[in-house]
Chains A and B, each alone.
Chain A
Amino acid sequence: MEIALSIDGRALTVEKGTSLLQAARQYGLYIPTLCDYPGLPASGSCRMCIVEIQGRANTPTACTTPAENGMIVQTHSLKVQALRRELLQLLLAEHPAGCLVCPENSACDECMVTVRKLGATTGCRTCPKDQQCGLQEMVEKLGIEQLDYPMRYRMLKVKKNDPFFDRDYNLCIQCGRCVRACEHLHFTSSLAYTKRGSELVVGTAFNHTHLQTDCNFCGTCLEVCPTGALTEKTRKWDGTPQAETISTCPLCSLGCQLRLLSKNEQVIGSLPAAQPGVEPLCVKGRFGITELVNHPTRLHHPQKTVGSHRMQIPWAEAIRMAAEKLAECPPGQFEMRISASASTEDLYVAQKFTDQVMHSQRFVVPAVARYGGGLAQVAALLARAQPPAVLAQAQTLLCLGFDGRYAQSVIDMKIRQAKTAGEVRLVTLHPHTHSLSRNADLWLRPQPGEEADCIAHLTAALINPPPAEPQDLYARAAHLLHGPGPRVVVVGAHFLTHPANQLLLPAAAALAEHLHAALVILPEEGNLAGALLLGATMLPPAAEPAVRYCIGETAPGEPLGQTFCIYQNLYPPNAADPADLLLPAAAFSETAGSLVDAGGLVQAFQPAVPPPGAAEPAWQTLGRIARQLGAPGFDFASSAEIQVELAARLGGYELHQRVSHRAPVGAAQAPSSTTAVPYPTAHTYLGFPLSQWVEGLTMLVADEEVNRV
């Protein structure tokens, strides 16, 4: 039903149930707001959107007042504007904002001679959110030139004992955006209002740290906060970004889209490409990237190892040295070790180099060792996998060995969102307490190591539903899973890397087939699908090669071994790891490239900043070495040229398209041994535990172990 009303003299027609604020916005009319945020329910707490309605004595908030037929509304009358200014004055009386009205506030930045953002914020010029603040914007819009009330500073202790962000509730205006975002966008409710009246403060239950709550550090609360109350620890010093670049997170296989913020040729932040809550990020993509790519230990120039020292050398010398060693290397005595987080371009050129220049079969992606005897099954599942977006429509869900608390919290959020929106049935199978245990309608909990029995019982119950026995878990699970479609089966890292994955994964595939369910496969490595596509296989252990080229991986073995080790990465190897020649690599944020995500989609990186020093992508270095060796076919000028060649070889490889050639090139060969080879697990990136570079993650890892039941 349509409603006709007038706002500021303009005749509007809107649907019944539309709020006055929505109605005004539909017609492009501006009403100031502070607590309103897209996707969050209206709360009416900031009272900036008050309006005057003819025939009513009060001035209600436009966000909470439904439009009614015949209403005559004034949004900027003298009375409303005067009240609005008064309300803003009252907000400012509890927000340290002396700088706003300081006659010399513009001179301050130039004269600021210390970092000044350590203690409590007492004014805009030392506030990490300066120039990005909702209150500053409102003060400007309403023309506040003086503060009418003395400042009431709340003297609350700044909370700094969580990783990734600090909370200074002395700056909080109690708009409640963070509280509502946590509840309605992330379905976590770690934050709430505590205490009452003038003592009211946003906080966690019992004043715990966020580590002790259900928080998974998605950072949505920081992004919606209009003030400097919530600030990212590593981003306090950088101010407003100069540029934004859309890119892809390489820290797991989900292929989440990032908005990289940059300033002065440095990445200063990473935010979800879309509006927060719509497609959020997990803790790694949201908070990990700046520390990872800006780490002070980054390699800037090539180095050679002389005795126990490392010496900086020019690129020309490094290329010459590598070419000399490679020219002497007998065929088959060369090994390429490359990370499953490397770009497809690096993987392809590395594979081509191994095959065509070095005539070696030893193209090693150590990460595949994690999958042991089940590698072929992982590849087969990946070939059938659907993008995680299918979760949004799902009505019936089965999660096998999936825990998204920190690493893949985006999936948790999608599942919780679906569950909140409608009658979604969720069955999980996991031996441990996991991120969805509280949300599941049924949690099948085998003893660790007995997952295969558990899935066999479940399959049996699904195929031959036993007579309804409310006590029988499997019967209940089968009943739930026979619920309405679309159905989705999610397979997480616990199943993918399980020692019995050779049994578990085909069983999972069979279950999905029986249920006509889409499969969502969630490995942890960013480009596992790309590596498998290029023929990464498990190779039986071989004798020490004469030359080993490591890209984003460290070399095994003793430093005194006879192998000449070329090492190319973002960081130097650990002191104990061998490396004779160190080459600096560009990070994903510094080069163009692509990866294949878990849904089979080719996702793109864009250079947001130039690489530090003389660093460059590995495919460029390999091209230079190949040319030095006189090998043809490596004259790639850009990642796009590599993609063209790759497309010809694979029968299609195009950015933002699903790879058409899904049958893995050579993954069918598995070694006889079925035990998984130890490989640094969870949160590994480019051969190192991610927490070595992103220090806050160490606090999460510790916490995860403590909480593991």
Chain B
Amino acid sequence: MFKILENKMLVPNLHQVTIAAPEIANAMAPGQFIILRTGEEGERIPLTVSDWDRSRGRITLVYQVVGKTTLALSEMEAGSSLPTVAGPLGNAMEIDYFGHVLCVGGCYGIASIYPIARALKEKGNRVTVVVEARSAYLLFWQEKLKSAADQMIVITRDGSKGLRGHISQLSRIIAGSPQAVDRLVVNGCNYLMMRAAQESRPLNIRTIVSLNTLMIDGTGMCGVCRLTVASSTRFACVDGPHFDGHEVNWDELAQRRKAYLSEEAQPFRSSKAQM
């Protein structure tokens, strides 16, 4: 059993949970994820680990409420326990000295980009963090990100903070950067990662995306998370989740993600649903 130490809403729909998991915290590397269940009978959901504390043996996840299990997780109180938390899973993000790295985060990616930016900065890279949100009130962890970045850039779709627009601002940010950008790391929804890869392709900047696919076991057995990268089939769980964004077949990925949309809505299609 894994005890929930804290569970709170950061901004509408985005929640932060801290779990006591000393072994996982001890083995964690930036870019890795865990798979948890909220009940003995529950479905398994993969979530990126956004922060961890080895000395206190705890991990922190930031997750968006999008379906039955994330909703159930958001309603669990501190002191209650999760029956299973498996991890760390997946490969760690490649951390090395690259020069100037742009770390882009949107949605839950605002949090999951944090340990990556921190590690890249520790390696001596110049790190620019770009965060994207619909509106200023949906931003969080800004102070934390500032501590891991040489520069912070905010994009909001309504212009309530920073640049107004969407991820299409990325090419302008790269062009306006005082120092040439050597690498992009993008975390967020598939749309954000796909568009970021589209923006960087003509500029020929290596772009690493951390994909979120449907997933069951997370150890390469079931094949649910398969996708096409550079024309060959890969598993997001054991081959990823980090891939070269210019090589991912984004259309196929989006189609596979949508395969169970009506089933995902089924638990909520009830006039009694309190969710």
Q: Residues of A at under 8 Å CB distance from B?
A: 96-104, 107-108, 110-111, 113-116, 118-120, 122-123, 146-147, 150-153, 155, 160-161, 163-164, 170, 233-234, 236-237, 287-288, 291, 294, 296, 694-699
Contact = CB atoms under 8 A, between A and B. Distances in A.
Given A110-B254, A160-B274, A697-B271, A151 B136 contact: yes
B166 A103 contact: yes
Interface in B162-208: 164-168, 189-191, 194-195
A294 B271 CA distance: 13
A291 B261 CA distance: 18
B270 A696 contact: yes
Contacts of B66: 114-116, 118-119
Interface in B118-166: 134-138, 156-161, 164-166
Contacts of A119: 12-13, 64-66, 71, 74
B54 interface: no
A151 B135 contact: yes
Nearest to B255: A113
Nearest to A152: B137
A368 to B, nearest CB: 30
B270 A114 contact: no
B264 interface: yes
A96 to B, nearest CB: 7
A685 to B, nearest CB: 15
Which of B65, B135, B160, B194 is most buried by chain A, counting CB atoms within 10 A of its CB?
Answer: B135
A98 B271 contact: no
A298 to B, nearest CB: 13
B190 A113 contact: yes
A171 B134 CA distance: 15
A191 B157 CA distance: 34
A168 to B, nearest CB: 10
Interface residues of B, number: 45
B12 A115 contact: no
B206 to A, nearest CB: 23
Contacts of B160: 98, 147, 150-151
Nearest to B264: A115
A66 to B, nearest CB: 39
A98 B70 CA distance: 24
Nearest to B65: A119
B65 A236 contact: no
B273 interface: yes
B134 A99 contact: yes
Interface in B42-93: 64-67, 70-71, 74
B3 interface: no
Nearest to B274: A160
A111 B254 contact: yes
A697 B71 CA distance: 24
Given A98-B134, A104-B195, A237 B269 contact: yes
B171 to A, nearest CB: 13
Contacts of A108: 191
B271 A287 contact: yes
Nearest to A235: B269
B266 interface: yes
B98 interface: no
A479 B98 CA distance: 95
Nearest to A294: B269
Nearest to B194: A111
